[in-house]
Every structure is written in structure tokens, then in C-alpha cells.
């Protein structure tokens, strides 16, 4: 596979580390419930189709990326820095 | 005192690993390697909204503009290499005055001295691209990786900083910086990969 | 030395001036440059080249290409001996040694051919049925017997003496196959200025043009070929790679290739690799891999002398070899007739032509007459005789009458299958074409187009047209402007009518579907009867399509017979999903440089040279080579050395490299808050100039890592991690910052490589250090107390950092200097500590001292332990949120009987403890249900003069004083140990604070 890092350009997948689904949001703070945290830590969708997932460009710019990949074909339709997404959502 | 001064001599990252000379196929060397040492190096990470101020300061002090993309920008005495968003490696040809310079930059950036953290070498020669193709997973065709382009990538499982410098008398010039602790493994790969082209090694 | 009795007097693309001597099964022969091993053997009249896999039947060369199922030989000798090489693609070189496989004692007289007589017992699935009982016989009797009887070649069993390379290439267009289609495509793209890579597995480009007598533009095709190659070579952005097989197609335009750089030489040229594994990144690719001819299933179809008709043409036209004196042609279409024509043109005799089609075509009749061959319209071959060498065939004509014809070569033509393997590597399903009687590529992987025969467009005219058109299209799709179209050259006329014959049911004898795996038509019928009908079941049950050829000549016939059995059509029955690699690939080509000591990278500490000088024994610790211990002359075992090192530290002073710890520079206004969130304990109150021990959990509540973090400035910290987790922690921190809390001003970078760091430990550590630091630094206990962390200088102004932290429990410091000074630092410390008997110590002594102090390390931080398990529950703050907080509070993780951390000592102090021993109550059986935990770390304490252990046991500290068994059946250990505090030495910490 190749992933086009928004900072570095198209790179071999060897440069990246996979983490998993990008959309679960960590329940932050002392008010978070154990149940919500359990969901965040363990429960994942497993779609056959487009999947937003986290990849870490550890051998490049060290950016965590949200990669939208079709799990059936590996076709990648979008790559964006995870940092921008959260900052954008908060704004 | 004299004895103390001698005993605190720094040791090159290449010491015991590589030395000047030549190896591999005889005849005109297809690859030329220059081992670099004694440079100053630091990571700069701009603070929130501080990139502009940092850039201005670097421009004033060193006469070079911090790149905003994977590039290496060279001034008379220093190079700035983009390594990530809002993050650069600043390299000085000499360590004289480097620490005071870093202190001046510190208000605008997280500054971390890395002068001893990397082994570095410069590569050129007629077959340099053929040699690099044995480890670099990037397109180094002249049209794809131009003078001034830079990339953080992997060679032989080693994270490296690769850059293309202005062409020299024997054509394209590439520079590679790699973690100091991995210099031995890197050289093992390099020596195996360059042998078929013949390699001349010098120390800058 | 024989005179190559089957070599034609002239012709062929061989260099008759360059004779090459080689041997097969110890006998010497001569061939020419340009030969393959197969063509040279045939030129010398060698027909019998191997014994079959199961029945040990005599086998000869079937094909002239990579699909060869029979002619598998062991090539070379000694460490370079390579089994299962296909003689049809082995380029002949002077001195080549080859040996036949799977025969004993000799190829001609093979005792195990008796397996053929046992064949009723060796049918499909025989090993599932026959050898099930008695069970004990399997390992001792059946398996060794089967392994000896069935099999392919022998591996060398020695280290491969050759070097292999790995390399990466990029292009606009990759052309797979250098036949007319590929050449036309490469020309169209190359003329447009595209960066083109043209690969062909053969050592000579041209594909079928090398094997056929064809005309292009009214001239012999060879002229067009030479001109095309010359033009391609003149284009600077076109790279031609012969001897290079594209073996796999991967995601996003990545192609795996192997280039046989030195396989055609006795041994690789100096400094050249034997092979080079390529990963090619292509914007577009054109598959122009041609097609593979299909045999017919009939009794005796494996007799040496039965050969594919196209292969016969290859041997005649390309290699100047006539593989038989008297030929019978068995054809199902027009294509086979070219073989009869070419044999006759070369002076050979065609005894009979058996055309399975029932239409009597006057043109064909005329040609048969001209060749002087008997013509059997609507006939089939129903038997072959001769055993080790074809002696004749039985022909059944349209009326059902049979006649015998003497011949030593039977050329079989049954149509071609597109070489579409790569189109299937991403799960693409080939689709059946009723008109072409073959599977053609289905849905194509992104970026790939298929041209010429590989697409089922079998004529030369179609090949040239496809190549030019798709080449131009690919250029446009790669984002370039195609050059103006040139007219497609005209070719001589050809027809491709075909009515394939899947099998001939004969009177007697085995009819092989899969030569390589000895699968017969009866095996496929049996599979159908027993319900193994889906194509995947058929393959597993009968082994059809397995092994080195992966069914290149057999899959379709297998499907056809299954279809016939089940009353379905071929496409209803199934198709084959091909997976990489297309042909076998040596592991060496995939590993490249990375084997032996270069299998993975090795990291050396900046003090490595010094440690080596000191006589250190090194040990791998992840990628690092670390000094394990420093033996002195006269110390015969490691424990003596380690005991000396430990005692030296506890009584005087020792130094140990700790440069390998991860070091992360963390800065920014929110850095302290960030530490609060990633560590379990509090950080906001950490003063500048102080270090603190920190514990980090994973989000699931288990311990991830530990280490000290020091305050270097108001918003500037230096975190240390364990050696093993340095990279993982960096990635975790980046995740926490970028994904969880991007709003934080926190900036971090690894500085692990920048600093050489040494631990100076022991009662004389301070005095030693005083001799190394520049004199202005006050390191008295008052000025520099336990956990102080400050910038200092050494050697007259060299910036350094000093931390008063201790892993050994002694008065100890860690001194860090820029890595280039690491060597000098060790020497300066040795000189300064000389009056106190300073002793270098390795990680073994470090480990002993940490066990003596009951510190947790990697063995305890194993990903399955919580802070509470490790006795570190008090470090979990209840006042703030941090990674892992909630999950660590889960009821099951707080249960009292979770195995938790304590010390162990042998009740009999003379007894040795073993890490990995399991704890079992005294008097209880050593069984899983009585398991109470296990010993994680052990060490011999020269201080206490007995072994001590750390471990995890149910109930933990509440059971101190209790005795249990430490049960270690692997090393026959079963001893009684007492549960104790994990701190064995100086529990008050008096030494630490001294």
C-alpha cells in the first residue's frame, strides 16, 4: 500500500503504523463514565467499505493521520492530519 | 590541563565504522561518499502562532527562509530542513556560536540540541541514484526529487533525513542524516549496496 | 561428449561459435550460448529428465517456458544447489551442473516407481484415508515413508554464499512482457517521453516472435524486433529489464519483481548480487505476458516425448533443435498446424496429423498432403506407448477405429490460456469466454490494462494493435501527452479457430491432468463422487494446481473434467484465483541485504567502543547491543564476574552505560498539564531542577512504561523511558497530543540519540563525579540532594546534565553528555574513580541490583500487569484524569486475588531460583487449576549470598511469610520458597540518600 501523507507526499505503507478507527472520541475528564470509556477502548465498527482510521507517519513527519480507506479494495479516498480535524471540530 | 583537554576530544559518529579510502569495484568510483562531522544541529518546533516570528528571526540572523514544505534551504553558513509541520532541523556548518544562536531562537521555538544525535554523509557520483535505489523508497528521478527537496523516510529500516543539495562537479548530490546509534548498520547496508559501483570515501 | 544429434544444422538464436559444456546426472554434454538447459538436453537427445511426484513415473520436457511441470532439476552443487529449477527457463552456462530429482537410486532405474503399482492406494485424498490408523504409526512410519517417496528436490542445507539486493524503482508505465505486445506498448509510451520499465522473464526479449516464423511489414519479424529494441534502447527514459519476472501485483500500483542478475553465470560476478528483488511503483501498467499453451488429458500423456506444440516450435525455431525424428501432431485448432509446417521446414518428418475437429477442410488436407503426413480428421490420441521414451501413439479416428503410429515426438495443441495471473492478485475473477474457450481477465486492478494474448487477443495483429493503443492510453492516464500515433504494422495472415479437447477417455493407462502433482482424470472424478466439487475443495483434496507450477498447465483441464462430471459448464464450476508469486521466488531476493547480522538493525551506544576495549560481553536488548558484563582474566563464569561487579558497586563505585534509555524533550506552556494526563501521578508541583518517577498506563488500564522525568525549566521537561519502549512511548505521546489534545501547547522531540548517559553508582559515586565535573558545580548532599536534576558542565565547559537517580539503590547519579563525548566521559570517570577501584558493570549486574531493590522492569511491565499488581497503586492519583484511569478501576482489575508483586527467597538458601517457575501451594498437585502465579525475575545476590526472586502471586503482599512451591518442570525444579518483601537490600533507603 501507499499512503499520500498530506505533508510528505506518497509514501510506502512501511513508513506508517496503523492504530484503528479514527472516529471514537475519548471521554475526557473526571466526569467520564466507565461504560463510555469501555466503549471507547474496546468497541469498534468493522465496516466492509469506507473506514476512517488512524495511521501514524512515524518514519516521516510524525503526524497522526486520518485515512479514509475502503476495507474491501484498499482504495484511499482521503488523508488528513488528525490534529486539524480535532482543532476544526472544536472551533 | 593539557591532558584533560585532549581526553575530552569528541568522537565522530563514524569513528570505528567508516574511514577515508575506497572500496568495491575498481576503476572510476561510481559513488562518492563524504563523511560529515563537527556540524551543529538542532530541532526547532515553533510555538503556537510563533512561526512568523521565528521565520523572521531566522531570516535576519541567517539570511534564509524556513521552508513550509519538505525542503532544505541553504544559506551561507546554515541550512534549514523541514521535518514536520512547524518543525525544522537547523544545521550550522560549524558549532562556533551555535549555542548562543539557539538561545536567541528559544523564545519562539522549542529548541533541542541534536548536534551529536546524527551521523551524516553526502553522496554523489555517476551511479549514486542506482545505489540509493537499493534502499530509498522514494522516486529520486531528477524531475521528481529536485535540488532543495528533502524527505524524512526509511533506508534499510533506518529512519533518515534525505535531502538533495545543489549539483556538484559529479552531478547530483544527496545528503543523508541518520540516528547516530544506527551508523554501523547503515554503513553495512551502504557498503554492500555501493560495492558494485565502486566507492570513494572522504572525510569533510 | 556427444554431438548434439537433435541439433539442426543451422538456424536458431543460438551462438554456435560459443560452445558450453554442462552435465546432467553426472554425464557431460555440450550446448551453445543462447540455449536453455532444456533445449540443450533435447539437442543431446536426453528425453527422460525427472520422475514424477507420487508415482515416480518417467517424465520429459513438456514446455519451453515458466509453466513447465516436469523438467524440474537440482541446479549447481554444494551450497549453491537449488532444487526445483525449471530446465526450460535455466539459461545454459559453461560448467552448469544439473541433476534429476525424486529418483532412487537412478533416474532410469527407480525403485519407487513401484508406487505406480500401488496407485490404487495413492489416489486423491489417500493420506486422509489410509494413514489414519493406528495413530502412532503416522509420525514413526507413514510420514517418513511418504516424505521419502513423494517430493521434489533437496535444499542445499548450507548457508547461501551469494548476496542478494533489494531495490525500488518508479515509472509512469510498467510493461510486463517483452513480446510483440509489450514492445509495441513500450514504444508507444517511450516515444511520448514516459518513464517506462519493460520487464521480461526471458533472457532475450521478443516473446513468441523468437519462436515463430512470422512476418511484420512484409519482412521477417526478427527485423521488426531488432528495430523495436534498438529504438527502445535509444530512449533515455526507457529501462529494459530482461531476466526479470513480475511476480506480484499489490495495492496502489506496487509490483514485485525478481531480477536474476547472476543466475545465468556459474556464480555471480564479483560484487554483483545473485538476484535482486524489486519493488516497482508504477502509475500505470500494461500486462502483456502472453499466453500459456494447454495440454490434452489422454492416457499416457506424460510419456517423455509428448510436448506442447508451441514448445516444439520454440525448440525448432529459437534453439535449432528438432526434439524428435518422427512427429505426430495432435491438434484441436489451427495453431497446431504451424508446428507441422515448421518441423517440415526444418527437415523433420511429420508422420501423422490428428485434428480433433470434425470438419474436413480442404486447405488443411492439402497441407497434410504436402507434408506427407497421414491426416486424421475428427481423430484423437487415446494412448501413448514407450514408457521412458515415446515409441508410438494410438489414434482413434472419427469412425472409432484405432491405428498405431510410430513416433518419438507427439506435439499437442489445444489452445492457449491468457497469462492473466496478475489480474487476479487483488481478487479479480477471470471470466469465461465461450468463443475463445478460455478464461480472460475480469475486473482489472486499478492502473492495469491487459493487452494482446494476455487479454485473449491471440493474433500477432491484435498484439501489435493492442500494444500501441493501450500504450498511448496509459501515457495519457499517467498524465502525459501521447506522441502522435504511428500506423500499426501489417502482419502475415493467421487464423485461430479452435475446438478444444479437454480429455480423451482411453482404454488403458493413466491420463494426467496435473503432471507435477500426479493428479489424473480419475482423481478428479473421485473428488466429484466424494463431494469435493467446489474448485477450492478439488484443489485441496487432489492437490491439483499446487506446488511450483501452481497449475499453469492443469487448472483448466481439472475444471473441465469436474464440469463434465457435475453436468455444469466450466464457468459454473469455477475459476482459479491466482495469488502471488506468479513463479517461485527465492527468499533471498525478498530479504536482500537483510539477513545474518543484517537481519535487523543493530544500535550501538556512544560508549560502545569503550565497553569493547574493557572486554565487555555484549547482549542483544531489542535492537541494542548492550554490555552484559565485563569479565576479567581468571573469571571462568558469568556469575563470578557479575558478583564482583555488584559488590564493587555496593562497596565502592561502578559505572554503567544507560544511553539506551529513551529520552524525550518536552516543552511548551501546557507541558506540565500534558504530563499530568499521561502519567498516573502528579506533575504540576515538580520544581525546576528535580526529577520524579512516573508511571504510564495504556488506556485499557494496564501499565505501559515507567521512568523519570525531570524539570529542566518552567515549561521544559526531559522524560526518560525504558530502552524497550522508547519508540512506543514517543508514538503514544504524539497520539495523545495530536489526536486527543491538539489544543495543548506541547512540543516534543526524541533526543535519545543526542546524549550519552552513564550511571555512576556506589558510596564513592560523589567523589568520582567531583573529579569529572567542572569545579564550580557543588554536588554535596545538601546542594544536590536525591532526585536533583540540573545542567552542569564537564571538560571545561562542555554542556552536560546530571541527575541524582538510582536504579541500584546506592548513592547514584546519571551523567549525560553530548553523544560525541560519551567515550571521553567513560574514560574521565574511570580515571576519576581509579582511587576508589571504579568498576565498569553491565546490565546483568544492573539487573541483580534492581532485583535486590525490588524495582520492576521489563519482565514485570509485561502488558498484563496493573499498577496495583506491581505494588504501585499509590501512584494512581484520584484527583485528576489520566490515560488509563477509568479502565484501571474496573472491578476485575482490583480483585484481591489477582497475582501481584512480591519477593521470593528459597527456604534452603543453597537452592537456585528460576524465572518462569510457577507457584503452587505446598501439598497441591502441579496442575493448571492450582497455579497461583509465576516468578518474573531472579538473581543471585552476592550481598545476601542466596538467590532471590520477584514474581506475581495471587494475594500478593498479604501472604508475606507464607511458603509455596516454585515449580519449574522444564528444568526439573520444584523447591519451596518463602514469600517476602520485594526489597531485599537496604529497605530503609539509607544508601540512596547518603
* Per-residue pLDDT at C1 exceeds 60: no
Q: Cα separation of C180 and C977, whole Å?
A: 79
Residue-level pLDDT at A88: 43
Which of the four pLDDT bands, split at 50, 70 and 90, describes residue C124?
A: confident
- Using an 8 Å CB-CB cutoff, list chain A residues near C249: none
Cross-strand bridge partners of residue C50: C59
Question: Which three cell numbers, joined as nine digits, stand for A46?
Answer: 468493522
Mean predicted confidence (pLDDT) in A58-81: 96
Q: Cα separation of C815 and C722, whole Å?
A: 17
b/e map C485-507, b = 16+ CB within 10 Å: eeebbebeeeeeebebbbbbebe
Q: Cα separation of C344 and C326, whole Å?
A: 10
- Using an 8 Å CB-CB cutoff, list chain B residues near A59: 152-154, 159
Question: Which three cell numbers, joined as nine digits, stand for C501?
Answer: 479437447
CB contact under 8 A, B139 and C819: no
Residue-level pLDDT at C56: 87
DSSP category for residue B3: H
CB contact under 8 A, A8 and B154: no
Which tens digit of pLDDT belongs to each residue from C92-108? Answer: 999 999 999 877 667 77
- Using an 8 Å CB-CB cutoff, list chain A residues near B112: none
Which of the four pLDDT bands, split at 50, 70 and 90, describes residue C772?
A: very high
Residue-level pLDDT at C989: 87
Q: What's the pTM value of the predicted model, to 2 decimals?
A: 0.94
- Using an 8 Å CB-CB cutoff, list chain A residues near C892: none
Chain B CB within 8 Å of residue A11 CB: yes
Lowest mean pLDDT among C130-139, C646-655, C691-700: C130-139
Terminal-residue alpha carbon distance, chain A:
33
Candidate from C272, C600, C749 with C-beta closest to B45:
C749
Which tens digit of pLDDT belongs to each residue from B65-88? Answer: 999 999 999 999 999 999 999 999
* Per-residue pLDDT at C137 exceeds 90: no
Which of the four pLDDT bands, split at 50, 70 and 90, describes residue C126?
A: low
Which tens digit of pLDDT belongs to each residue from B31-45? Answer: 999 999 999 999 999
Mean pLDDT, chain B, rounded, equals: 95
Mean predicted confidence (pLDDT) in C558-570: 95
Outline where DSSP puts E strands in B96-188.
109-113, 118-124, 150-155, 158-168, 171-179
Mean predicted confidence (pLDDT) in C518-536: 93
- Using an 8 Å CB-CB cutoff, list chain B residues near C665: 43, 110, 112
The pair phi, psi for residue B178, each rounded to 5°, is -140, 160
Chain B CB within 8 Å of residue C385 CB: no
CA C918 to chain CA mean position, Å: 37
Candidate from C168, C668, C669 with C-beta closest to B137:
C168
Question: Which three cell numbers, joined as nine digits, stand for C576?
Answer: 482459479
The number of residues making up chain C comes to 994
Candidate from A11, A14, A62 with C-beta closest to B84:
A62
Cβ within 8 Å of residue B143, ≥6 positions away = none
* Per-residue pLDDT at A86 exceeds 90: no
Q: Which helix (H) or strand (E) holds C846?
A: helix C843-853
CATH 3.30.70.1520 residue window(s) in chain B: 40-113
Give B164 to chain A, closest Cα distance, Å: 15
- Tell me if residue C486 falls in helix, strand or coil: coil
CB contact under 8 A, C597 and B188: yes
Give C891 to chain A, closest Cα distance, Å: 11
Residue-level pLDDT at C152: 73
- Using an 8 Å CB-CB cutoff, list chain C residues near A83: 738-739, 742
Terminal-residue alpha carbon distance, chain C:
89
**Residue at grid coordinates 505476458:** C289
Higher pLDDT, B187 or C132: B187
CB contact under 8 A, C700 and A2: no
CB contact under 8 A, C735 and A28: no
Cβ atoms of residues C410 and C390 within 8 Å: yes
User: Percentage of residues in chain C with pLDDT exceeding 70?
Assistant: 96
Within a 13 Å sphere around the CA of C462, how many CA atoms are in the beta-carbon half?
Answer: 15
Which tens digit of pLDDT belongs to each residue from C444-489? Answer: 999 999 999 999 999 999 999 999 999 999 999 989 999 888 899 9
Within a 13 Å sphere around the CA of B91, how many CA atoms are in the beta-carbon half?
Answer: 24
* Per-residue pLDDT at A87 exceeds 80: no
CB contact under 8 A, B110 and C753: no
| Strands lying side by side in the sheet with B21-23 | B21-23, B199-203, B31-36, B118-124, B171-179, B158-168, B150-155
Which of the four pLDDT bands, split at 50, 70 and 90, describes residue C360?
A: confident
- Tell me if residue C494 falls in helix, strand or coil: coil
Q: Cα separation of C204 and C679, whole Å?
A: 64
User: Percentage of residues in chain C with pLDDT exceeding 90?
Assistant: 88
Which of the four pLDDT bands, split at 50, 70 and 90, describes residue C885?
A: very high
Residue-level pLDDT at C967: 97
Q: Cα separation of C804 and C789, whole Å?
A: 6
Residue-level pLDDT at C721: 97
CATH 3.30.1360.120 residue window(s) in chain B: 21-37+117-203
Residue-level pLDDT at B4: 47
Question: Which three cell numbers, joined as nine digits, stand for B168?
Answer: 556538484
Higher pLDDT, C547 or B197: B197
* Per-residue pLDDT at B5 exceeds 60: no
* Per-residue pLDDT at C242 exceeds 60: yes
Pairing of strands B87-92, B40-46: antiparallel
Indicate the CATH number of B21-37+117-203 among 3.40.50.620, 3.30.1360.120, 3.40.50.2000, 2.60.40.1180.
Answer: 3.30.1360.120
b/e map C539-561, b = 16+ CB within 10 Å: bebbbbbbbbbbbbbbbbbbbbb
CATH superfamily of B40-113: Heterotetrameric sarcosine oxidase (3.30.70.1520)
CB contact under 8 A, B45 and C163: no
Cβ atoms of residues C773 and C793 within 8 Å: yes
Chain C CB within 8 Å of residue B45 CB: yes
User: Percentage of residues in chain B with pLDDT exceeding 90?
Assistant: 96
Q: Cα separation of C229 and C798, whole Å?
A: 64
Q: Cα separation of C97 and C75, whole Å?
A: 6
**In B, residues 128-187, which contact C (CB 8 Å cutoff)?**
133-139, 141, 144, 156-158, 179-185
Cβ atoms of residues A2 and C253 within 8 Å: yes
Burial (CB < 10 A; 0-12, 13-18, 19+), residue B100, is exposed
Amino acid at each position: 500500500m501507499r499512503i499520500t501523507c498530506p505533508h510528505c507526499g506518497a509514501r510506502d505503507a512501511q513508513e506508517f503504523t496503523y492504530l484503528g478507527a479514527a472516529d471514537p472520541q475519548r471521554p475526557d475528564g473526571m466526569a467520564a463514565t466507565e461504560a463510555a470509556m469501555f466503549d471507547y477502548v474496546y468497541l469498534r465498527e468493522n465496516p466492509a467499505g469506507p473506514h476512517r482510521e488512524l495511521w501514524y507517519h512515524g518514519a516521516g513527519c510524525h503526524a497522526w493521520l486520518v485515512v479514509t480507506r475502503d476495507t474491501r479494495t484498499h482504495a484511499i479516498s482521503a488523508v488528513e492530519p488528525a490534529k486539524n480535524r480535532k482543532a476544526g471540530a472544536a472551533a | 590541563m593539557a591532558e584533560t583537554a585532549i581526553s575530552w576530544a569528541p568522537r565522530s559518529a563514524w569513528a570505528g565504522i567508516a574511514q577515508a579510502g575506497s572500496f568495491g569495484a575498481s576503476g572510476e568510483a561510481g559513488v562518492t561518499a563524504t563523511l560529515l562531522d563537527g556540524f551543529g544541529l538542532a530541532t526547532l518546533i515553533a510555538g503556537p502562532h510563533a512561526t512568523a516570528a521565528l521565520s523572521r528571526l531566522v531570516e535576519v540572523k541567517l539570511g534564509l527562509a524556513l521552508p513550509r514544505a519538505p525542503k532544505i534551504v541553504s544559506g551561507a553558513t546554515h541550512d534549514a530542513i523541514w521535518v514536520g509541520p512547524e518543525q525544522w532541523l537547523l544545521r550550522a556548518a560549524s558549532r562556533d556560536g551555535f549555542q548562543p544562536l539557539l538561545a536567541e531562537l528559544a523564545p519562539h521555538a522549542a529548541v533541542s540540541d541534536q548536534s551529536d544525535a546524527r551521523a551524516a554523509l553526502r553522496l554523489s557520483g555517476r551511479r549514486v541514484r542506482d545505489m540509493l535505489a537499493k534502499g530509498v523508497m522514494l522516486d529520486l528521478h531528477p524531475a521528481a526529487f529536485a535540488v532543495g527537496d528533502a524527505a524524512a523516510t526509511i533506508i534499510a529500516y533506518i529512519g533518515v533525513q534525505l535531502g538533495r543539495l545543489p549539483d556538484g562537479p559529479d552531478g547530483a548530490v544527496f545528503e543523508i542524516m541518520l540516528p547516530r546509534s544506527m551508523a554501523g548498520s547503515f554503513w553495512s547496508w551502504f557498503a554492500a549496496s555501493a560495492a558494485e559501483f565502486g566507492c570513494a570515501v572522504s572525510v569533510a | 561428449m556427444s554431438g548434439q544429434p537433435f541439433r539442426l544444422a543451422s538456424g536458431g538464436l543460438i551462438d554456435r561459435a560459443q560452445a558450453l559444456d554442462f552435465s546432467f546426472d553426472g554425464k557431460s554434454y555440450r550446448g551453445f550460448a543462447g540455449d536453455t538447459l532444456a533445449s540443450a538436453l533435447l539437442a543431446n537427445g536426453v528425453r527422460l529428465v525427472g520422475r514424477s511426484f507420487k508415482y515416480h513415473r518417467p517424465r520429459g520436457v513438456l514446455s519451453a517456458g515458466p509453466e513447465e511441470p516436469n523438467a524440474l532439476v537440482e541446479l549447481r552443487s554444494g551450497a549453491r544447489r537449488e532444487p526445483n529449477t525449471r530446465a526450460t527457463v535455466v539459461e545454459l552456462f559453461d560448467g552448469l551442473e544439473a541433476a534429476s530429482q525424486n529418483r532412487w537410486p537412478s533416474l532410469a532405474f527407480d525403485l519407487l516407481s513401484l508406487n505406480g503399482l500401488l496407485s490404487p492406494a495413492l489416489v486423491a485424498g489417500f493420506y486422509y484415508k489410509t494413514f489414519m490408523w493406528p495413530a502412532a504409526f503416522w509420525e514413526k512410519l507413514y510420514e517418513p515413508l511418504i516424505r521419502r517417496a513423494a517430493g521434489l528436490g533437496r535444499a542445499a542445507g548450507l548457508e547461501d554464499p551469494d548476496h542478494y539486493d533489494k531495490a525500488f524503482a518508479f515509472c509512469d508505465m510498467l510493461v510486463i512482457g517483452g513480446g510483440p505486445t509489450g514492445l509495441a506498448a513500450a514504444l508507444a509510451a517511450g516515444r511520448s517521453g514516459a518513464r517506462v520499465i519493460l520487464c521480461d522473464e526471458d533472457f532475450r526479449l521478443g516473446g513468441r516472435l523468437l519462436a515463430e516464423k512470422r512476418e511484420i511489414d512484409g519482412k521477417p519479424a526478427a527485423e521488426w524486433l531488432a528495430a523495436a529494441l534498438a529504438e527502445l534502447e535509444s530512449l533515455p527514459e526507457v529501462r529494459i529489464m530482461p531476466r526479470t519476472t513480475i511476480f506480484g501485483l499489490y495495492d496502489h500500483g506496487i509490483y514485485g519483481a525478481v531480477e536474476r542478475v547472476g543466475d545465468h553465470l556459474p556464480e555471480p560476478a564479483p560484487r554483483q548480487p545473485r538476484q535482486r528483488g524489486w519493488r516497482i511503483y508504477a502509475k500505470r501498467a500494461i500486462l502483456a505476458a502472453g499466453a500459456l499453451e494447454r495440454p490434452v488429458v489422454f492416457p499416457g500423456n506424460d510419456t517423455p516425448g509428448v510436448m506442447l506444440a508451441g514448445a516444439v516450435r520454440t525448440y525448432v525455431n529459437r534453439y535449432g533443435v528438432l526434439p524428435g525424428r518422427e512427429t505426430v501432431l495432435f491438434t484441436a485448432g489451427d495453431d497446431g498446424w504451424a508446428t507441422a509446417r515448421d518441423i517440415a521446414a526444418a527437415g523433420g518428418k511429420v508422420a501423422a496429423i490428428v485434428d480433433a475437429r470434425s470438419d474436413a477442410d480442404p486447405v488443411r488436407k492439402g497441407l497434410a498432403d504436402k507434408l506427407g503426413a497421414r491426416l486424421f480428421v475428427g481423430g484423437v490420441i487415446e494412448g501413448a506407448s514407450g514408457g521412458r521414451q515415446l515409441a508410438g501413439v494410438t489414434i482413434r479416428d472419427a469412425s472409432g477405429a484405432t491405428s498405431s503410429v510410430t513416433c518419438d515426438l507427439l506435439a499437442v495443441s489445444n489452445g492457449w490460456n491468457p497469462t492473466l495471473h496478475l489480474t487476479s492478485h487483488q481478487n479479480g475473477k477471470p471470466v469465461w469466454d465461450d468463443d475463445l474457450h478460455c478464461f480472460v481477465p475480469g475486473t482489472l486492478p486499478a492502473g492495469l490494462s491487459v493487452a494482446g494474448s494476455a487479454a485473449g487477443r491471440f493474433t500477432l495483429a491484435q498484439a501489435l494493435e493492442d500494444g500501441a493503443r493501450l500504450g498511448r492510453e496509459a501515457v495519457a492516464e499517467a498524465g502525459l501527452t501521447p506522441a502522435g500515433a504511428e500506423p500499426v504494422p501489417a502482419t502475415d495472415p493467421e487464423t485461430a479457430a479452435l475446438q478444444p479437447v479437454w480429455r480423451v477417455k482411453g482404454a488403458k493407462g493413466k491420463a494426467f491432468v496435473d503432471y507435477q502433482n500426479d493428479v489424473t482424470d480419475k482423481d478428479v472424478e473421485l473428488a466429484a463422487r466424494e463431494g469435493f466439487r467446489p474448485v477450492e475443495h478439488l484443489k485441496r483434496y487432489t492437490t491439483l494446481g499446487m506446488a511450483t507450477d501452481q497449475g499453469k498447465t492443469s487448472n483448466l483441464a481439472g475444471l473441465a473434467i469436474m464440469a463434465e462430471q457435475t453436468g455444469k459448464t466450466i464457468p459454473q464450476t469455477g475459476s482459479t484465483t491466482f495469488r502471488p508469486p506468479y513463479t517461485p521466488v527465492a527468499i533471498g531476493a525478498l530479504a536482500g541485504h537483510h539477513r545474518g547480522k543484517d537481519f535487523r538493525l543493530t544500535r550501538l551506544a556512544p560508549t560502545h567502543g569503550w565497553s569493547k576495549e574493557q572486554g565487555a560481553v555484549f547482549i542483544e536488548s531489542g535492537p541494542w547491543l548492550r554490555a552484559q558484563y565485563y569479565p576479567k582474566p581468571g573469571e571462568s563464569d558469568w556469575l563470578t564476574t557479575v558478583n564482583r561487579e555488584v559488590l564493587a558497586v555496593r562497596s565502592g563505585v561502578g559505572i554503567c552505560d544507560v544511553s539506551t534509555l529513551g529520552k524525550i524533550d518536552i516543552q511548551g506552556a501546557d507541558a506540565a498539564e500534558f504530563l499530568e494526563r499521561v502519567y498516573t501521578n502528579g506533575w504540576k508541583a515538580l520544581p525546576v531542577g528535580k526529577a520524579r518517577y512516573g508511571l504510564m498506563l495504556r488506556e485499557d488500564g494496564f501499565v505501559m512504561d515507567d521512568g523519570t522525568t525531570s524539570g529542566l525549566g518552567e515549561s521544559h521537561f526531559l522524560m526518560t523511558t525504558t530502552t524497550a519502549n522508547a519508540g512506543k512511548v514517543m508514538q503514544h505521546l504524539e497520539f495523545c497530543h495530536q489526536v486527543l489534545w491538539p489544543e495543548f501547547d506541547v512540543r516534543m522531540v526524541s533526543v535519545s540519540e543526542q546524549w550519552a548517559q552513564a550511571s555512576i553508582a556506589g558510596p564513592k559515586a560523589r567523589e568520582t563525579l567531583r573529579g569529572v565535573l567542572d569545579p564550580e558545580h557543588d554536588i554535596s548532599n545538601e546542594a544536590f540532594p536525591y532526585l536533583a536534576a540540573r545542567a552542569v558542565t564537564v571538560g571545561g565547559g562542555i554542556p552536560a546534565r546530571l541527575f541524582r537517580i538510582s536504579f541500584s539503590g546506592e548513592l547514584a547519579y546519571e551523567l549525560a553528555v553530548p553523544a560525541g563525548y560519551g567515550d571521553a566521559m567513560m574514560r574521565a570517570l574511570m580515571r576519576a574513580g581509579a582511587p576508589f577501584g571504579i568498576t565498569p558493570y553491565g546490565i546483568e549486574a544492573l539487573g541483580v541490583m534492581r532485583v535486590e531493590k525490588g524495582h520492576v522492569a521489563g519482565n514485570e511491565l509485561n502488558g498484563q500487569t496493573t499498577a496495583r499488581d506491581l505494588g504501585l497503586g499509590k501512584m494512581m492519583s484520584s484527583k485528576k484524569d489520566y490515560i488509563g484511569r477509568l479502565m484501571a478501576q474496573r472491578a476485575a482489575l482490583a480483585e484481591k486475588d489477582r497475582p501481584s508483586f512480591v519477593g521470593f527467597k528459597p527456604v534452603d538458601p543453597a537452592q537456585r531460583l528460576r524465572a518462569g517457575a510457577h507457584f503452587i501451594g505446598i501439598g497441591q498437585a502441579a496442575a493448571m487449576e492450582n497455579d497461583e502465579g509465576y516468578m518474573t525475575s531472579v538473581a543471585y545476590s552476592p550481598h545476601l549470598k542466596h538467590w532471590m526472586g520477584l514474581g506475581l502471586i495471587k494475594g500478593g503482599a498479604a501472604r508475606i511469610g507464607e511458603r509455596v512451591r516454585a515449580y519449574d518442570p522444564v528444568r526439573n525444579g520444584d523447591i519451596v520458597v518463602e514469600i517476602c518483601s520485594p526489597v531485599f537490600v537496604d529497605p530503609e533507603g539509607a544508601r540512596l540518600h547518603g
